Structure 1
Amino acid sequence: MNQVVSRDVWLEARRQLLASEKEATHLRDRVNAERMALPWVKVEKDYVFDTPTGRKSLADLFDGRSQLIVYHFMLGPDWEAGCPGCSFLADHLDGTLVHLNHHDVTLVVVSRAPIDKVEAYKKRMGWNFPWVSSFANDFNYDYHVSFSKEQLAGETVFYNFTPMDSAEGNDELPGLSAFYKDEVGNIFHTYSSYARGPEELIGTLMILDRAPKGRNESSTMNFVRRHDEYEDTAKAHSCH
């Protein structure tokens, strides 16, 4: 339990924290500006995805808008269910769609599992956001969130912009990528983020950070379950 003090002492401590919070806000603003200033890479490769309404190209996924955000969701071809951490993040996406679409942004979730498995898990979770399969293309491999058996058999895999010990890896890892499509149809890769990078998309964590006990975790998000599994504490917490 934290120290219990008078209101005046608390107020002084809170003002000191406020100064740090403002500093963090200003730092976030600077980071956002640096992110906006990143150079872009033209996407030269053609990707075709399986969707519930047929096959679609990367250009099609923009759905008439100029900006595309892709969440790389950990659900491999042989997995029984989606990663609990990715599922936790995905619980926060549906409410953003109308606002993102109004702001010329399309959000799409991509997994390497076949589309029938994607659709089954999406139905189980009760989600409505667009979710497509990259099972038939190299998209997840090219954006460094999926890894072959041969890659995992080596000493390292390339993840989060650096070589990572393959023993610490998985065949699927999380990430977020952004793309821009210009007036003539050229597509550019503008940004990607991995590991804890997309954490700010998880509103629940931002609320917990302000609760008296915080995230109350012994390791990153170890408390998280799929939202239909919280009553079943006997279930394993692995991704598959």
Structure 2
Amino acid sequence: MTTPIPHPVVSRDRWIAERKVLLAQEKALTHERDRVARERRALPWVKLETDYVFDTVDGPRRLSDLFQGRRQLLVQHFMFAPGWEQGCKSCSFMADHLDGAALHLAHRDITLLAVSRAPLADLQAFKARMGWQFAWASSGGNDFNRDFNVSFAPEDRIDGEVYYNFHMTPFPLTDAPGISVFYRDDAGDVFHTYSTFGRGVEVMMGTYNLVDLTPKGRDEAGPSYPMAWVRHHDRYEDAPAPACCGGAKA
């Protein structure tokens, strides 16, 4: 028998009154999110001087080719480094949300792409295991990950810190999670328009939005490692295990 969550129990009228107070806060948050989204779209762009070449199932392809005829490209920086047995659990949790979104995004002129440094054969094998359909390219032969601050060479570490999420911070692994957005104009030039890291990648975790509606919520307070409960979707079990990239801070 599970222990009930200690919580006030009130009349329906009081619940409605308190719900209305929360509703005002939710509406304010929605309006603030809309304002921040406008600021995000207003950010200046950076023209890329390097048209990175990736290893894909269709052979070597330049970044400018991966838009698939669309103007916008949304990249998940997926933590899967050369020599790893499998992709990061937390990045896999993110990726579990991609296939359902891909068709809808395509009709908003957006192509979805995951990028990792692991060899393409390893990416394809893991993709088959997980049953994913989205496009996944290997950046193992270029500097894309390092240039966008989601992979770190030994010389990138200064006193144990690397440049991640736009500041120097401790990060124990060679690869980190992130999302980057690019735009391709009619002349074929590619521009970097946006990147987000740390807890910013939660925009790709729709499951969290639903979890946040429930009484227990994320249940990640205290000593628990953030996202410690997450597993590869074919590996859920009772034994706890920390997520490989769950310790990123906002």
Q: Same fold (TM over 0.5)?
A: yes
Out of 232, 237, 246, the position equivalent to 1:226 is 232
The answer on whether the counterparts of 2:225 and 2:242 sit within 8 Å (CA) in structure 1 is: no
The structure-2 alpha-carbon separation of the partners of 1:21 and 1:187, relative to structure 1 and needing over 3 Å to count, comes to same
Deviation at 1:213, TM superposition (A): 1.0
Deviation at 1:92, TM superposition (A): 0.5
Out of 28, 35, 38, the position equivalent to 2:33 is 28
- Structure 1: which amino acid aligns with 2:118? A
2:151 alignment counterpart: 146
The answer on whether the counterparts of 1:38 and 1:190 sit within 8 Å (CA) in structure 2 is: yes
User: Residue 130 in 1 paired to residue 135 in 2?
Assistant: yes
SS at the partner of 2:157?
helix
Please list every run of at least 4 consecutive aligned residues from structure 1 whose deviation after the TM superposition is greater than 4 angstroms: none
1:49 alignment counterpart: 54
User: Residue 111 in 1 paired to residue 116 in 2?
Assistant: yes
SS at the partner of 2:100?
helix
- Structure 1: which amino acid aligns with 2:194? Y
User: Residue 191 in 1 paired to residue 194 in 2?
Assistant: yes
Q: Count residues in correspondence.
A: 237
Structure 2 spans left out of the alignment, 5+ residues: 1-5, 246-250
Q: Distance in 2 between matches of 1:140 and 1:52?
A: 19
Deviation at 1:53, TM superposition (A): 1.6
Structure 1 vs Structure 2 CA RMSD: 1.5
Name the % identity: 54
2:219 alignment counterpart: 216
Structure 1 spans left out of the alignment, 5+ residues: none
1:71 alignment counterpart: 76
Q: Distance in 1 between matches of 2:38 and 2:243?
A: 37
Deviation at 1:24, TM superposition (A): 0.4
Q: Distance in 1 between matches of 2:181 and 2:115?
A: 12
Q: Which moved more, 1:45-54 or 1:131-140?
A: 45-54
1:170 alignment counterpart: 173
Deviation at 1:2, TM superposition (A): 1.2
Deviation at 1:158, TM superposition (A): 0.5
Measured against aligned partners, the alpha-carbon deviations of 1:11-43 in whole angstroms (never above 9, x if no partner) come to 111000001100100010000000000000000
- Structure 2: which amino acid aligns with 1:223? W
Deviation at 1:238, TM superposition (A): 5.1
Q: Distance in 1 between matches of 2:77 and 2:28?
A: 31
Q: Distance in 1 between matches of 2:20 and 2:173?
A: 44
User: Residue 157 in 1 paired to residue 143 in 2?
Assistant: no
1:9 alignment counterpart: 14
SS at the partner of 1:22?
helix
User: Residue 180 in 1 paired to residue 186 in 2?
Assistant: no
